Structure 1
Amino acid sequence: MSRLYAAHTLLNAGVAIAALIAPLSIAPAFAQDAPAAEEAQIDEPASGDIVVTARRREENLINVPIAMSVVSGDSLVKSGAADITALQDRTPNLTLQIARGSNSTLIAFSRGVGQQDPLWGFEPGVALYIDDVYVARPQGAVLDIFDVERVEVLRGPQGTLYGRNTIGGAVKYVTRKLGNEFHASARASYGSYNQLDLVGQVTLPISDTFSVGAAIARYKRDGYGKNLTTGAEQYDKDVIAARVSAEFTPTENMFFRVAGDRILDRSNPRHGTRLLPNGTDPIYAPTASVYDTRAGIGDRNRVKTQGVSATGEIGLTDALTFKTISAWREGHTDTLIDFDNTALPTLDVPAEYDDRQFTQELQLLYQGDRIQGVAGLYYLDGRASGAFDTVVGLFNLTTLTSGTVRTKSYAAFGDMSFDLTDQFKISVGARYTKDDKTGTVFRRNYTGIRSPYFGNAAAVPGLLRTDYTNSRSFEKFTPRVSVSYAPRADLNFYASYGQGFKSGGFDMRGDAIFTPTTVNGYEPETIDSWEIGMKGAFLDRTLFVNLAGFMSKYKNQQVTIQVPALPSGIASFVDNAGKADIYGFEIETRMVPSRHFSAGLVVGYTHADYKEFLTFIGGGTTPVDVANQRVFQNTPKWTANVSATWSEDVAGGTLALTPAVSLRSDLSMFEIPTPALDQDGYVLVEASLNWTSGDGRYRIGVAGRNLTDTRYRVGGYNFPGATTGNSVIGYYGPPRTVTGTVEVKF
């Protein structure tokens, strides 16, 4: 499809949306006290008076000219969601998954844009924020659902207010504020595979102006499968998470908060399962269960992440507020990946990651009668490092790869909204970002199984493949503009244009013998995105509708290519792939005809097509355009979810039944289609039944997920060929699980 035709299609879609909604826009003003709608908007994403902070200031969701979904923490807990990856079932055009071989590393894609490779030094394409703090690394980013008020998912580039590496969007994990009243809660869950979750929270007001709070969670579960070589659990869970905070409100115009969190994940590594044999050798045969493995590399996996932040808000005048956000975070990961999935070290990778970051953001917020906005400065000082061995047992050879990327990022930004009339508004924003990066990469062959770095002191040093330190700077100006028209309250039409970019860097796996230009690093990727949309409430606030259509021009996409390269193991290089066009639409609706029934529908469509994909073929030195042979990874064309809730007054409380069905169409795991790995479309069915007492103090619930016990791949590795053990392995989403929960609030 040509770009002109895509633009014409998007324009026609916008006209059609306007034509469909126009008759509803002249409906009578909504009853502001409709109880059914007010109840629904607490838990559902397409609701009316939901207050969000997508533009770094509190606003009604309907008034924000950004495609976004909002899901409350209570809603996720009641549905039995294990962690934030459950958001992909409720959010259009979103992929959130646990990374290959990991238990707590996050892979995120939105509207075709993301980053699958979690290696240190590579930047994510969809940013994660805990409150207002940017989390630079994906390790430990699969956050569990506790002490969270809501999760906001912003789709499309957020380059103005959120900056670098939000080229696909942002996920904001918003925790609860303490307030100045005592409250506490305790939740216990038991379910399939001996799942045991214990969560406790407490808020203690020390005075009228000072409160302290804490939350702790313990998650324990047996594995969905077994390691047939070592006997260890496979796909188990063993996590302890905690959060503490203190809030001080000396006056009504001043607020200060200090918060700290720590997560320790000691779950066993996920070794995946073989999808293809290696000849007739039985040790390489696939296992009977997709959750079983024969990996022999070991079962030690440990991920620790922690951080502390300090936020201050000072009202300078009635209209002007100063805000400061200081944060420090660090993480360390020890893990193992057995690519061959056998007891032999045919293709094994022990690895470690280490990272730390400091960020400082200063904001000046203005809230006037006709003008609202924010301006600010941002600084990040980060260090990401790590090391791994690539063990090729058939050759008694190991390649050690290690390195560090140091990043200093500076930004200045502003976004202002002007109410030209009561109906017409315009928003203009821009951000200037400068990244200074220094990369150090070391890669060397050793004779022996593992290098000295990972415990084999007898390994004999061999060919030095990469050893360099280089520095580069990247800078970008990213504007955004939007116009809104609100013909009446609770109805908003908007159109917007925005840019985003993801910083360039250095390939930590780069092999200077195979690809000498790796020492020069790779370039940033950029996106230009156009969007039209509508948000509204209709029929006396019993119907909520959010619609969006988008088209993006994607340039210099960073793609990691890994191929067998014996006898050195695996060669990796990063391509700036070229150009792509992405367009699609999103629909989120919620109907609440009565307090006893509600229903929702979410639909997303993404068409992503490479127009140019330059890469090197067969060791050649001239790049070749292979756009017609490449596809977008982790980007199903269709995503959908339909749900309904029936509730009745029972035994002094409310009994609510919520079934839901989600759909994802075919997707590719990598840019090169791989039939053995790529996932066909699938459907997941879930249901929950919750009884809540009339005063809200007690809840008893049961939740079932993947009730049809569907097997679906969420990741994989592809290293075919006898010399690598024909290593084609897959990683799978959870099987059918049922969980019972008791919750008490004090």
Structure 2
Amino acid sequence: MINRSMMRRALLAGTALCAMGGVAQAQDSQVAATDTAVTQVEDVVVTARRREESLQDVPISVTAFSAEKLDVRGAPDITALQRSTPNLTLQVSRGTNSTLTAFIRGIGQQDPLWGFEPGVGLYVDDVYLARPQGAVLDIFDIERIEVLRGPQGTLYGRNTIGGAVKYVTKRLGDDYSGKLRAELGNYNERNLVGSVVLPVADGLAIGGALAWYNRDGYGKNFTTGAETNNKDVLAGRISVELTPSDKLFVRLALDRTEDRSNANHGHREVREPNTNTAVLPGVYDTLAGIGDDNKVMTQGASLTGEWSVSDVVTLKSITAWREGASSGKGIDFDGLAQPFLDIGGNGKIYKDRQFSQEFQAQIEADRLQGVVGVYFMDARASGAFDTILGRGLAPEAVLVPTPSAATALTQLTTGSVDTESYAVFGDLNYDLSDRLKVSLGARWTRDEKAGTVFKANYLGTLGSPLVKPYVTPLPFPFNVPQILTNYANRKTFEEFTPRLSVSYELNDDVNVYAAYGRGFKSGGFDMRGDATATPGTKNGYDSEIVNSYEIGLKGDFLDRRLRANAAIFNTDYKGQQVTTQVPKLTPPPGVVSFVDNVGSSRIRGAEVEAGAVFSKDISLDLTFGYIDAKFEKFPVFDLATGKTIDVASTRRFQNTPKYNASATLNWRTDLAGGQLAILPALSYRSSVHLFETPIPSIDQKGFTLADLSVVWTSADAGWRIGAHGRNLTNERYRTGGYNFPSNQFAQSVIGFYGPPRTFKVAIERRF
């Protein structure tokens, strides 16, 4: 439970901020100036509980970003939300350009391998994206983005134990409109985004958006000559909306994204003694030799229908299909020209598809509001890759400057997981009085999973028969595989996830609430599991369970010139799924991967989102997040002894800074017949561990990022010209890494870095 001293500190912190005049705003509180020059924080409408409500009335910690706010700040993609959202981590996954790593309040999933479930749910127009590949969404053609913190097991279901991120696109409307934006920046950045809405007939409209993002690399591959950390993305969306009456709405939406950016191999952090290779000075540079070809494709379609049966009941249906695929040569884990530790592929490395259907009944009566529904999803994810060990057959103490058939070892990993998910849910809010409200919800989920895993060693070759070998394999009998894992299994996971909240309006502008929520992330099968080292891998791993308790306040003060939203929370976390990869100690050699269900942990924290309107020209946004996360039990299987030991005292939560904060000043003035906005911003994150085990060579120390946007908008909003600078101090900070510190793995300690200092100018025409 949340102790009194912690609650006292959080309340005192909130009071002190208010006294400073800077604390209070909702994170998306945009300044609204009336004709009489009276300024107030603006009311924000969200759909966190699957129906439209004021953000201030929702008993959930929610941060909402409107399209206007993201545009004026020059946000490039969804990862920009991390800078100004408390206790949120949204980053590009290590070794990729468009796979998303998401953590909220210390809960998420680092490993994007098929079969592993994310801990933060990502939704596009209420369609759940089952896989993180291709989920680093560029920001275009949206209405808003919502970040829901804490488990959302009732309304959003499986795999939202940390929270959810909702990407809400714009409805077309009845009027002809369009927009064209062009951007130029350093690193030869060139972006074009266009959208149009065409009313075809009364109640029928067609709209579309197309975006092209292109940028040279931040660094260079000195082995192949290719650019690294570049960008080459083409994305499009088209929708058809039918509104035959004010009671019926139907939307068909199609989207597709292709990312052809070069492979991202990371930067070596330590010298490789066997080849006498020094560390490159540029953190975006590499010597990777595996190749640079890379392509990620995602596409989907959704059909949404809403029918207002009466003034009280609205029926809603969401039908969706999605698929994705990744192809290329793989990821170079060693950062060297020679294949000492490479993850190889030749063609399709990964692919997925999903179909989902959801039916809802939304209720809006005098004192009763809510939603009930059913949900179904059928999904499949599969892949194949080689773990290529150029020194795999060489003793640890032997120096091997060049891989050969005598020392080479390849581990082939291939498999698939099929998931059928069923759920029944409901969430009802009842007004006990004009000020006292209670909300009760529950969800029953059943996940049926079927997994297949095949893993084998191939000796004397740098590549398995499935992937084009780097060298000619040895002849029979040396090319006969040593099978490590070969099984098919099925498991079923069921969970009941309730939610209860009570809110009370102290007055018309201040609301306090207390909430309890339960979250569930289903178990599965380890696609990398080695049954010769850990026979239990065939049985799979179990689910994660979260029980969260939260107390919060949302209030407007000083005639709505001041807004302060704050929350403190305590989370009991059981069965956390942790992936460990270590060198194998017994023949056959290689890398052993296993998933442990950590016994238990607890997470405590606090969040403040605040903002103040000082005048019609000046406003300030502030955020603060605090997390105290600790493992209480962490049992692991010790390969050396064959026993299970508890290592909780030596483990840390990954991707979870203890402190994070941001400040954004918004200064506006009239200029040249329009309005000029200047927005300097600072964001801070304290030190983070990239893995559960502390690794000083790649763990990231605390850092601050400085951004600046200067935007002019014409009086009729038809023209907008902006200049945006991000990471102005050129901070070098890691967002991910790999750690294989042994001679057998070529001392492969690799870091992946966030973007350097960037500038761009943008011009936009709206009509």
TM-score (norm 2): 0.93
CA deviation after TM superposition for structure 1 residue 593, in Å: 2.1
Structure 2 match to 1:108:
102
CA deviation after TM superposition for structure 1 residue 23, in Å: 11
CA deviation after TM superposition for structure 1 residue 657, in Å: 0.5
Does the 8 A contact of 2:41 with 2:613 survive in 1? no
SS at match of 1:140: coil
Q: Does 1:511 align with 2:530?
A: yes
Structure 2 match to 1:133:
127
**1:486 counterpart (489, 502, 505):** 505
Does the 8 A contact of 1:262 with 1:306 survive in 2? yes
**1:295 counterpart (288, 312, 315):** 288
Structure 1 match to 2:575:
556
In 1, Cα distance between the equivalents of 2:410 and 2:274? 26
CA deviation after TM superposition for structure 1 residue 679, in Å: 0.2
Structure 1 match to 2:316:
323
In 1, Cα distance between the equivalents of 2:455 and 2:33? 59
CA deviation after TM superposition for structure 1 residue 48, in Å: 4.3
CA 1:595–1:631: 2 relative to 1, 3 Å: same
In 1, Cα distance between the equivalents of 2:351 and 2:254? 19
Q: Does 1:454 align with 2:467?
A: yes
Structure 1 match to 2:245:
251
Structure 2 match to 1:533:
552
Query: For 1:619-698, what aligned pairs fall within 5 Å after superposition?
Result: 619-698=640-719
Does the 8 A contact of 1:332 with 1:354 survive in 2? yes
Q: Does 1:61 align with 2:55?
A: yes
Query: For 1:324-339, what aligned pairs fall within 5 Å after superposition?
Result: 324-335=317-328, 336-339=330-333
In 2, Cα distance between the equivalents of 1:280 and 1:196? 42
Q: Where has structure 1 moved over 6 Å in runs of 4 or more?
A: 17-24
In 1, Cα distance between the equivalents of 2:617 and 2:325? 48
In 1, Cα distance between the equivalents of 2:128 and 2:692? 28
**2:363 counterpart (362, 366, 380):** 366
CA deviation after TM superposition for structure 1 residue 490, in Å: 2.6
Residue 202 of structure 1 aligns with an amino acid whose one-letter code is: V
Does the 8 A contact of 1:37 with 1:541 survive in 2? no
CA deviation after TM superposition for structure 1 residue 21, in Å: 11
Residue 423 of structure 2 aligns with an amino acid whose one-letter code is: A
In 1, Cα distance between the equivalents of 2:99 and 2:189? 21
Structure 1 match to 2:412:
400
Does the 8 A contact of 2:30 with 2:41 survive in 1? no
TM-score (norm 1): 0.95
CA 1:35–1:132: 2 relative to 1, 3 Å: closer
CA 1:486–1:509: 2 relative to 1, 3 Å: same
**2:752 counterpart (726, 731, 735):** 731
SS at match of 1:82: coil
**Which string of whole-angstrom CA distances, capped at 9 and with x for unpartnered residues, describes residues 672-704 of structure 1?**
000001000000000000000000010000000
Structure 1 match to 2:539:
520
| Identical pairs, percent | 54
In 2, Cα distance between the equivalents of 1:250 and 1:188? 36
Query: Which residues of structure 2 form unaligned runs of 5+?
Result: 392-406
CA 1:21–1:299: 2 relative to 1, 3 Å: closer
Residue 434 of structure 2 aligns with an amino acid whose one-letter code is: D
Structure 2 match to 1:192:
186
In 2, Cα distance between the equivalents of 1:510 and 1:663? 38
CA 1:594–1:253: 2 relative to 1, 3 Å: same
Structure 1 match to 2:305:
312
SS at match of 1:557: strand
Does the 8 A contact of 1:444 with 1:461 survive in 2? no
Query: Which residues of structure 1 form unaligned runs of 5+?
Result: 25-29
Higher mean displacement: 220-229 or 13-22: 13-22
Does the 8 A contact of 1:123 with 1:502 survive in 2? yes
In 2, Cα distance between the equivalents of 1:590 and 1:12? 22
In 1, Cα distance between the equivalents of 2:439 and 2:16? 26
Structure 1 match to 2:403:
none
SS at match of 1:193: coil
SS at match of 1:206: strand
**2:4 counterpart (4, 8, 11):** 8
Higher mean displacement: 399-408 or 534-543: 534-543
Does the 8 A contact of 2:41 with 2:561 survive in 1? no
CA deviation after TM superposition for structure 1 residue 620, in Å: 3.0
CA deviation after TM superposition for structure 1 residue 77, in Å: 2.5
CA deviation after TM superposition for structure 1 residue 286, in Å: 1.2
CA 1:745–1:526: 2 relative to 1, 3 Å: same
SS at match of 2:63: strand
CA 1:295–1:8: 2 relative to 1, 3 Å: same
In 2, Cα distance between the equivalents of 1:204 and 1:211? 6
Does the 8 A contact of 1:433 with 1:475 survive in 2? yes
In 1, Cα distance between the equivalents of 2:351 and 2:577? 23
Does the 8 A contact of 2:268 with 2:749 survive in 1? yes
SS at match of 1:734: coil
CA deviation after TM superposition for structure 1 residue 618, in Å: 3.6
In 2, Cα distance between the equivalents of 1:263 and 1:22? 44
CA deviation after TM superposition for structure 1 residue 9, in Å: 3.4
In 2, Cα distance between the equivalents of 1:692 and 1:188? 15
Residue 455 of structure 1 aligns with an amino acid whose one-letter code is: K
Does the 8 A contact of 2:636 with 2:647 survive in 1? yes
In 1, Cα distance between the equivalents of 2:540 and 2:358? 28
SS at match of 1:499: strand
In 1, Cα distance between the equivalents of 2:270 and 2:232? 30
Structure 2 match to 1:432:
444
**1:587 counterpart (574, 595, 608):** 608
Structure 2 match to 1:91:
85
Residue 597 of structure 2 aligns with an amino acid whose one-letter code is: N
Residue 443 of structure 1 aligns with an amino acid whose one-letter code is: K
Query: For 1:250-289, what aligned pairs fall within 5 Å after superposition?
Result: 250-279=244-273, 281-283=275-277, 285-289=278-282
CA 1:532–1:105: 2 relative to 1, 3 Å: same
Structure 2 match to 1:477:
496
In 2, Cα distance between the equivalents of 1:658 and 1:486? 34
Root mean square deviation of aligned Cα: 2.0
Structure 2 match to 1:27:
none
In 1, Cα distance between the equivalents of 2:294 and 2:603? 38
CA deviation after TM superposition for structure 1 residue 481, in Å: 0.3
CA 1:240–1:624: 2 relative to 1, 3 Å: same
Residue 224 of structure 1 aligns with an amino acid whose one-letter code is: Y
In 2, Cα distance between the equivalents of 1:207 and 1:594? 44
CA deviation after TM superposition for structure 1 residue 576, in Å: 0.3
Residue 176 of structure 2 aligns with an amino acid whose one-letter code is: F
Residue 744 of structure 1 aligns with an amino acid whose one-letter code is: R
CA 1:649–1:413: 2 relative to 1, 3 Å: same
In 1, Cα distance between the equivalents of 2:497 and 2:456? 40
In 2, Cα distance between the equivalents of 1:520 and 1:35? 52
In 2, Cα distance between the equivalents of 1:89 and 1:626? 33
Does the 8 A contact of 1:721 with 1:727 survive in 2? yes
SS at match of 1:161: coil
**Which string of whole-angstrom CA distances, capped at 9 and with x for unpartnered residues, describes residues 526-579 of structure 1?**
000000101111111111111011000000100011112276432110000111
